[in-house]
């Protein structure tokens, strides 16, 4: 069954990102996959509230705001996804008793928003110079009503899905996902097929991120000269 | 005799001041501090109909974790976009009554995430079209409140089991809309139960101390958990959810 935008089942949308466009935060990144666009701004390490202070590591806080309206429990879900993923990747032990605040703003939503939020956060943390154990990228797969599997669905494609699967992998351990959110009605075979498809998509996203960061560093060293 | 008493005292002290080391002593010997095997779940008790004033209710106990779910039904107007569907709102309540981990006031992050998760899960279970009284005019709106009374780990599994049991227990009085007056009247003598699409069975596994995979972690083990995996199966052998964080 052909996709509305004529992509292959394993083809992700065109990726685009801009690093460091916000001048008040310590680091920022705007990440876009097709029409889904997420802006992430990071402060850190900064002062932490006494209640949240951790003696041996940094406190990680994530705020996600939707494109329209006030934040609801749906947005808390994305915050939880981002926070639990990056609590493991941020080397918080290097900055004890501080706060790393991650602010994610959905600019435009057209499916695979959770994955875009994670991708934008990785780039923003690198832009801010927060020490990371690894880069993390995420991708979403869905099983369509005809049981075919496609990667990086648009909202229209996701609305009719039998099941939705979001996986995040780091560039260190590709056999152990950093985050998994699979929901709907699916078989173990479908789960494994989505797993494999998402690993391939994540590899391509990580390569894109690497190029983006290399480009930024090149530009910075050139202007410094 | 005196030396045995000193040893017992020392274990309790050791458990409090060195909780990680205390757990490691058991886990490294392939056992857990309450004597369970790694993949052994605690005994689960489910009682339906525990709240007389609710249309559906259940109380679930997994070890010392106790969760109560009550479902109240009200009549309301359907959403314009879905005129033949009712509502199911799920709310998980984690308050200081169940554990010192939670503060009083508005629902915290964990409660909100659990509420959202359960809401998405039960979209597969309850057919909202069954809650229609009169198309485009009156539908049943179900409010499911899942309250944790006592938290000793794995509250999410207990919450899912409690809501599942409460939805099975749910009895709605036969309702009809009088077109002349626009009033919905319910006949308590005739009650209907929902026909559920599927039944869900949750299982939570925790990676304790980044090394040991255990099933149904209790509070002491949850404090040392570095990763959690929830798997939910339905009664037809399909997977309904895999959630790892």
ipTM rounded to 2 decimals: 0.91
pLDDT at B7: 54
pLDDT at B69: 97
For chain B, say whether A88 makes contact (Cβ under 8 Å).
Answer: yes
Residues of chain A with Cβ-Cβ distance to B123 below 8 Å are: none
Q: What's the rounded Cα separation, in Å, for the pair B37 and B172? A: 42
Residues of chain A with Cβ-Cβ distance to B198 below 8 Å are: 185
Q: What is the mean pLDDT of chain A?
A: 94
pLDDT at B186: 86
Confidence of residue A225 (pLDDT cuts 50, 70, 90): low
Q: What's the rounded Cα separation, in Å, for the pair A97 and B136? A: 55
Shortest Cα distance from A223 to chain B (angstroms)? Answer: 41
Q: Do A185 and B124 touch (CB under 8 A)?
A: yes
Q: What's the rounded Cα separation, in Å, for the pair B138 and A168? A: 43
Q: What tens digit of pLDDT does each residue of A37-50 get? A: 999 999 989 999 99
pLDDT at A181: 96
Q: Do B240 and A74 touch (CB under 8 A)?
A: no
Q: Do A182 and B234 touch (CB under 8 A)?
A: no
Q: Do A187 and B124 touch (CB under 8 A)?
A: no
Q: What's the rounded Cα separation, in Å, for the pair A31 and A171? A: 18
Q: What are phi and psi of A120, to 5 degrees?
A: -65, -35
CB pairs under 8 A between A and B: 57
For chain B, say whether A92 makes contact (Cβ under 8 Å).
Answer: no
Residues of chain B with Cβ-Cβ distance to A79 below 8 Å are: 109
3-class DSSP state for residue A16?
A: strand
Strands B65-76 and B87-93: unpaired
Q: What tens digit of pLDDT does each residue of A131-143 get? A: 999 999 999 999 9
Identify the closest residue of chain A to B236 by CA–CA distance.
A185
Interface of A with B in 181-220 (CB under 8 A): 181-188, 191
Give strand pairing partners of A41. Answer: A28, A103
User: How far, in Å, are A81, A132, B101, B193 from residue B117 at the CA level?
Assistant: 12, 29, 20, 24
Residues of chain B with Cβ-Cβ distance to A77 below 8 Å are: 113, 116-117
% of chain A residues with pLDDT over 90: 91
Q: What are phi and psi of A39, to 5 degrees?
A: -110, 130
Q: What tens digit of pLDDT does each residue of A54-87 get? A: 999 999 999 999 999 999 989 999 999 999 999 9
Residues of chain A with Cβ-Cβ distance to B241 below 8 Å are: 182-183
Q: What are phi and psi of A50, to 5 degrees?
A: -55, -40
Per the CB < 8 A criterion, the answer to whether A208 and A18 are in contact is no
Q: Which of A77, A179, A182 has its CB closest to that of B113? A: A77
Residues of chain B with Cβ-Cβ distance to A133 below 8 Å are: none
Q: What tens digit of pLDDT does each residue of A157-193 get? A: 999 999 999 999 999 876 789 999 999 999 999 999 9
Q: What tens digit of pLDDT does each residue of A113-130 get? A: 999 999 999 999 999 999
Shortest Cα distance from A177 to chain B (angstroms)? Answer: 8
- Tracing tokens 């996902």 back to the chain, one arrives at A177
Residue ranges of chain B whose CB lies within 8 Å of a chain A CB = 109, 112-113, 115-117, 119-121, 124, 198, 226-227, 229, 234, 238-245
Q: What are phi and psi of A24, to 5 degrees?
A: -95, -30
pLDDT at A65: 96
Q: What tens digit of pLDDT does each residue of A102-113 get? A: 999 999 999 999
Per the CB < 8 A criterion, the answer to whether A200 and A193 are in contact is no
Q: What tens digit of pLDDT does each residue of B140-169 get? A: 999 999 999 999 999 999 999 999 999 999
What pLDDT tens digit does each residue of chain B (245 aa) get? 455 555 555 888 888 888 888 999 999 999 999 999 999 999 999 999 999 999 999 999 999 999 999 999 999 999 999 999 999 999 999 999 999 889 898 898 999 999 999 999 999 899 999 999 988 899 999 999 999 999 999 999 999 999 999 999 999 998 888 888 888 888 888 889 999 999 999 999 999 988 999 999 999 999 999 999 999 999 999 999 999 98
Angle between helices B109-122 and A73-89 (to 10 degrees): 120
DSSP letter assigned to residue B77: P
Q: Which two tokens stand for residue B151?
A: 């938290």
């Amino acid at each position: 069954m052909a996709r509305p935008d004529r992509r292959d089942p394993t083809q992700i949308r065109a990726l685009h990102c801009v690093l460091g466009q916000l001048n008040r935060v310590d680091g920022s990144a705007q990440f876009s996959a097709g029409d889904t666009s997420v802006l992430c701004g990071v402060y850190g390490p900064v002062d932490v509230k006494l209640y949240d202070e951790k003696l041996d590591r940094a406190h990680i806080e994530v705020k996600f705001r939707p494109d329209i309206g006030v934040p609801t429990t749906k947005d808390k879900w994305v915050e939880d996804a981002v926070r639990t993923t990056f609590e493991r990747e941020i080397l918080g032990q290097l900055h004890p008793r501080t706060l790393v605040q991650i602010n994610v703003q959905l600019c435009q939503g057209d499916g695979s928003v959770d994955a875009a939020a994670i991708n934008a956060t990785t780039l923003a943390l690198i832009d801010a110079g927060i020490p990371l154990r690894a880069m993390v990228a995420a991708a979403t797969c869905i099983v369509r009503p005809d049981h075919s599997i496609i990667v990086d669905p648009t909202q229209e494609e996701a609305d009719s899905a039998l099941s939705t699967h979001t996986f995040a992998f780091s560039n260190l351990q590709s056999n152990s996902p950093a985050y998994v959110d699979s929901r709907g009605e699916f078989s173990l075979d479908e789960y494994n097929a989505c797993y494999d498809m998402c690993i391939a998509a994540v590899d391509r996203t990580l390569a894109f991120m690497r190029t983006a960061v290399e480009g930024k560093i090149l530009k910075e060293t050139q202007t410094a000269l | 005799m005196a030396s045995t008493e000193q040893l017992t005292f020392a274990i309790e002290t050791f458990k409090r001041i060195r909780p990680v080391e205390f757990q490691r002593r058991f886990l490294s010997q392939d056992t857990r501090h309450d004597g369970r095997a790694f993949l052994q779940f605690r005994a689960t008790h489910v009682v339906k109909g525990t709240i007389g004033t609710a249309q559906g209710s259940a109380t679930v106990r997994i070890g010392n974790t106790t969760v109560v779910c009550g479902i109240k039904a009200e009549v309301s107007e359907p959403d314009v976009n879905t005129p033949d569907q009712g509502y199911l709102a799920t709310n998980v309540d984690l308050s200081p009554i169940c554990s010192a981990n939670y503060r009083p006031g508005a629902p915290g992050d964990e409660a909100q995430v659990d509420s959202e998760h359960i809401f998405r899960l039960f979209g597969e279970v309850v057919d909202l079209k069954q809650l229609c009284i009169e198309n485009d005019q009156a539908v049943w709106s179900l409010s499911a409140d899942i309250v944790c009374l006592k938290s000793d780990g794995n509250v999410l599994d207990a919450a899912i089991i409690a809501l599942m049991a409460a939805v099975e227990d749910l009895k709605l009085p036969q309702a009809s809309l009088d077109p002349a007056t626009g009033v919905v009247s319910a006949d308590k003598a005739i009650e209907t139960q929902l026909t559920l699409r599927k039944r869900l069975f949750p299982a939570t596994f925790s990676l304790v101390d980044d090394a040991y995979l255990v099933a149904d972690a209790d509070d002491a083990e949850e404090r040392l958990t570095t990763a959690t995996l929830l798997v939910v199966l339905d009664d037809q052998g399909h997977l309904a959810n895999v959630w790892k964080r």
